[in-house]
Structure 1
Amino acid sequence: MAASIDMEYPFSGSWLVRNSPADRVPSHGTTLFATSYAIDFVPVGDTGRTAPVTLGSLLRPEAPEKFPGFGWPVSSPVEGIVVAVHDSEADHPAYRGLPSIGYALTQRRRAEAGWTALAGNHVLIESDGIVVALCHLQRGTAEVRPGQRVRIADVVGRCGNSGNSTEPHLHVQAVDSRDVEHADAVRLTFNGSLPRNGEIVVRESHAH
């Protein structure tokens, strides 16, 4: 049986579920870089939307600061040891509507550049031999360092738009090795279950 890990949600507030392995595997349409069971969470405002949709947002790239969840705290979903921190990638513009088509055409180039080019700023936390990756973090917001022990709900960084990301969100995956590019995917659940695409997860703050 494949390895698995059960975690807490790594955030507070309201987050929209996308690319959930509860709906399809591989969840992101590829097994590349052990993403078979990865899941995306997109922060949403009081309206349940990531950001207001305007004619401008459908025609041109947008600043990530326009999105209400940009900069929201991201916390550790497990108790473990931080084994890697990458914090220097720029947060690029968000792409919705027509701009998203052009951005999609550049995805192959990023994949060829390796996992870090896709993950952007990230933190890796090892817990009982399984490594949890928290990706697309905001540049310069890492609050942990390699070798540091973290508890559940300790803040590790903030939601950003780095790496392969069309709008600010948090990509979560679990793997069986610190070497993500050669690791196997690990099944994951949150509090014993997986949310489905389109569901909004609401969490109260328990940050330490």
Structure 2
Amino acid sequence: MTLTGDRPLFFGLVIAHTWFDFGYPILWNLLVLVLAYVLVTVANRWGGGAPDDKQVIRELVEVAAPVADRWSALDSPADRTPSHGIHAYGQTFAIDVIAEPEPGARPGLRALWPLARRATDFPAFGAPILAVADATVVRAHDRQRDHLSRTSWPALLYLMLVEGSVRELFGVHRIFGNHVVLDLGNGTYAAYAHLKRGSLTVREGDRVSAGQQIARCGNSGNSSEPHLHFQLMDSPDPDTARGIPFRWHGIGVPRNREIFEAPAAAASHT
């Protein structure tokens, strides 16, 4: 059973449970169910959940890098899979990258203060995001706001234990935030998440070339700070997709905290 697939059932139970009188305020019924949903979602996120028996790992696909210049990796599939702790939303081989133009340019995690920072304080915010291959745009959404960072321990715990679970209630749009999905052909799709609001330069149905700018990095969706979440998957719909392993031309798959440089020229490689 997956929370994603059973979301309609969950909401049906909410309606049924709030319809009947159990001798206490009806709102309590809803709160109990929402709390249960949050707890199960958190357990699923930490536990990861194994793929079912029909899971078939696709052959690795090599593409260009989705960014240029100096970046570092987080939650990399080079260190573990599933890289983000879950297989849901096609994230088995997903990677997060953050801009590191020079040492100390990116604000670090603080114990207590400041609780949050503006997105513009981070060098990744507004950085160009590039097509990794010649492709067709099949999903393009950029109407969600870019929120403050979650880069103190209280804010990070809030993101992990509360905000992320609430976003789960509303599906992949609230998890990925502003995002683009490209059809690379041969049953392979590239997803880019947490993009900057209003920054998309493409629409659904557009053809793009490798290295072409398609958006800018943002801090929308379930994001602790401005960064790019990138993954390959076998379907244009993250709700049902399975992850596909990847490597970037001339880079490979950077490990956690590994600094890598992706020249703009590399992104135009075909």
TM-score (norm 1): 0.92
Do 1:51 and 1:68's aligned partners in 2 also have CA atoms closer than 8 Å? Answer: no
Deviation at 1:104, TM superposition (A): 1.7
Query: Which residue does 1:203 correspond to in 2?
Result: 262
Q: Once superposed, what is the RMSD of the aligned Cα atoms?
A: 1.9
Query: Which residue does 2:91 correspond to in 1?
Result: 35
Which amino acid is the alignment partner of residue 116 of structure 1?
Answer: H
Query: Which residue does 1:156 correspond to in 2?
Result: 214
Q: Are 1:125 and 2:151 an aligned pair?
A: no
Highest CA radius of gyration, 1 or 2? 2
Which amino acid is the alignment partner of residue 133 of structure 2?
Answer: V
Which amino acid is the alignment partner of residue 20 of structure 1?
Answer: S
- Please give the per-residue CA displacement for 1:54-74, whole angstroms capped at 9, x wherever unaligned: 787x43111101112210100
- Flag structure 1 segments of 5+ consecutive residues without an equivalent: none
CA distance in 1, matches of 2:92, 2:171: 17
Which amino acid is the alignment partner of residue 71 of structure 2?
Answer: W
Query: Which residue does 1:108 correspond to in 2?
Result: 165
Q: In the TM superposition, what are the counterparts of 1:1-208 in structure 2 within 5 Å?
A: 2-3=57-58, 4-47=60-103, 49-51=105-107, 58-98=113-153, 99-105=155-161, 106-128=163-185, 129-191=187-249, 193-206=252-265
Do 1:44 and 1:51's aligned partners in 2 also have CA atoms closer than 8 Å? Answer: no
- Report sequence identity in percent: 33
Q: Which structure shows the higher strand fraction?
A: 1
CA distance in 1, matches of 2:168, 2:80: 21
Q: Name the SS of the counterpart of 1:81 in structure 2.
A: strand
Task: Call closer, same or farther: CA 1:157–1:78 in 2, change over 3 Å.
Answer: same
CA distance in 2, matches of 1:199, 1:35: 20
- Flag structure 2 segments of 5+ consecutive residues without an equivalent: 1-55
Identify the range of structure 1 (83-92 vs 104-113) with the bigger mean alpha-carbon deviation: 104-113
Identify the range of structure 1 (64-73 vs 106-115) with the bigger mean alpha-carbon deviation: 106-115
Q: Which structure shows the higher helix fraction?
A: 2
Do 1:83 and 1:125's aligned partners in 2 also have CA atoms closer than 8 Å? Answer: yes
TM-score (norm 2): 0.72
Q: Name the SS of the counterpart of 2:190 in structure 1.
A: strand
